[in-house]
Amino acid sequence: MGKIAELVDKGYELDSTIKKLKKELDEIKKLVKSHAKKYKQREVVGSKSMAVVSDTGYTTADPQLLYDHLDEQGREHEFWSLVNVKITDAKKLLGETGMSVIGESGSIPFNKISFKKQ
């Protein structure tokens, strides 16, 4: 067996192990976060380690208010460089044909890899 074949087999093994561990870790995180929230604890202590539970911040903006604010400053031309399209939502509204008129699709050759059992 060649070096590349060995790497493919090793990649499959690692990928499988990581997926199993990630699933287990996600379940543990869910349970610890639930406990922390219930008891209002920012730190949950184990016998050899601890979990620190923190908040996740977010910011939202109303596009019309953004445009109005930029317009007041004479910078409305900058609006379009700040706005992104939710592609999945736009496809639902316009369909594939409508998206082909306003969007661009493509692919990056040899950019993604997944490991599968033979």
pLDDT band at 100 (very low <50, low <70, confident <90, very high): confident
Residue 21 identity (one-letter amino acid)? L
Mean pLDDT of 61-73: 96
pLDDT of residue 104: 86
- Spans of all domains in the chain: 1-46, 60-106
CA distance 115 to 91: 30
Residue 113 identity (one-letter amino acid)? I
pLDDT band at 103 (very low <50, low <70, confident <90, very high): confident
Mean pLDDT of 74-82: 96
Which class for 107: exposed (0-12), middle (13-18), buried (19 or more C-beta within 10 A)?
exposed
Span 42-65, pLDDT tens digits: 999 999 999 999 999 999 999 999
Element (H, E) at 45: strand 43-45
Rounded to two decimals, what is the model's pTM?
Answer: 0.69
Mean pLDDT of 79-99: 91
Cβ 32 vs Cβ 43: under 8 Å: no
Dihedrals phi, psi of 50, to nearest 5 degrees: -145, 155
Cβ 15 vs Cβ 116: under 8 Å: no
pLDDT at 1 over 80: no
CA distance 58 to 86: 17
pLDDT at 34 over 90: yes
